[in-house]
Structure 1
Amino acid sequence: MRWASWALCALLLAACASGPARRVSEPTARIQQLTVLADGNWSTELRIENFSSIPMRFDSVQFALSVDGQDAGTLAAQPALTIGPESADVITMTLSPSVAAKLAVADALARKRGLDYTLEGTVAATPDEQRQREYKLKRSSALSPTPGLPGVLR
C-alpha cells in the first residue's frame, strides 16, 4: 500500500512538471485606423495579433497595401516589438500613397462610404526562445469613415 502511494505521488509530480503546451500559431495583421494627414500622406495604425501561447517578438513587417483595388504603396517597419501570448499591439507607420489610392480614399470620405483594402506581405517574428520565422499573410477587409473625426477611417 505504501509503495502505491509513493508511485501515485511521483506520477502527480511528473504531470505537474510538464507545464502547459507551447503552441506557435500564425500571426495576423490588419489596419486598425487610417488617417489622412494635412500633407496628403497617411498615418496607418497596423494591429498585429499574436495567437500563440507564448510571447513573440515581431522584428519586421512589410505589406503591399491596396485600397478599392488601387495600389497604395508599401507599409514597412522594423518594430522589434514583443507581444505577449494571445495578445495584440499596434504600430503606426506613415505612407505616401499613390495618386489613385489618394483619390479612392478621398472619394470614400466625401461620400461617407466604406472602403475595401487588402494587405499582402510578410511578418518576421521570433517565438520565445526559438529561431525567427517568416509568415506570409494576406488579409482583405474594409474601413469606414469615423463619425466626428474628419479624414479618419476605421
Structure 2
Amino acid sequence: MLRRFRSALIVLSVLALAACGEGVVKRVSEPATSLQQLTVNADGSWKVALRLQNFSSMPMRFDDLALTLTIGDAAAGTLAAKPGVSISGVSADVIELQLQPSAEARLVVAGALADNHTLAYTLEGSVSATPEDKKQRTFQVKNRSNLNHAPGLPGVLR
C-alpha cells in the first residue's frame, strides 16, 4: 500500500513539473467590435458606445479603427477613432464616439424608438491593434447584431 502511494506521488510530481515547463501560449486572435449602446442626442447626433473585444491571449493596444455603421438598411456613417487603449487578453473595453448619422439612419432609429422594436445593425471595416511585444496588425472585422430600446431611458438603444 505504501509502495503504491509513493509511486502515485512520484508520477503526480513528474506530471506537475512537466506542466510547469509549458508556460502560457501567446496567441493573437482577430478582435471583435459591437455596439454596446446608441444614444440619440438632442441635436440629432448619436453617442455610440463601441465595445472592443480582445480574443487574444495577450494584451493588445487598439490603435486605429474605421468602421462603417449600417442601421437596418440605411448607411449611418463611419465610426473612426484612434483610441490608443490597451485591453488585456480575453477581455473587452468600451470607447465612446460621436456620430452625425445620415438622415435616413436617423429616421430608422426614430422609428425603432417610437415603435419600441428591435433594430438590426452592421459594423464593417478595419481595426489596427498591436499585440504585446509584436508589430501592429490590421484586422478586417464584420459584425451583425441587434439593438433594443432600453426601458426607462428615452432615446437609448442597447
Aligned ranges for residues 121-132 of structure 1 at < 5 Å?
Answer: 121-132=125-136
SS at structure 2 position matched to 1:145? coil
Q: TM-score, normalised by structure 2?
A: 0.88
From 83, 87, 106, the counterpart of 2:87: 83
From 22, 27, 46, the counterpart of 1:23: 27
C-alpha displacement at 1:18, in angstroms?
A: 4.2
C-alpha displacement at 1:105, in angstroms?
A: 0.2
Does residue 68 of the first structure (1) align with residue 34 of the second (2)?
Answer: no
* Equivalent position amino acid for 1:127 in 2: P
- Structure 1 unaligned runs (5+)? 1-8
Percent sequence identity over aligned pairs? 53
C-alpha displacement at 1:61, in angstroms?
A: 1.1
Q: Aligned residues, how many?
A: 146
- Structure 2 unaligned runs (5+)? 1-12
* Equivalent position amino acid for 2:64 in 1: S
From 137, 144, 147, the counterpart of 1:143: 147
Q: Distance in 2 between matches of 1:76 and 1:29?
A: 13
Matched residue, 2:114: 110
Matched residue, 1:152: 156
Aligned ranges for residues 26-41 of structure 1 at < 5 Å?
Answer: 26-41=30-45
Structure 1 vs Structure 2 CA RMSD: 1.7
Matched residue, 2:124: 120
C-alpha displacement at 1:13, in angstroms?
A: 6.7
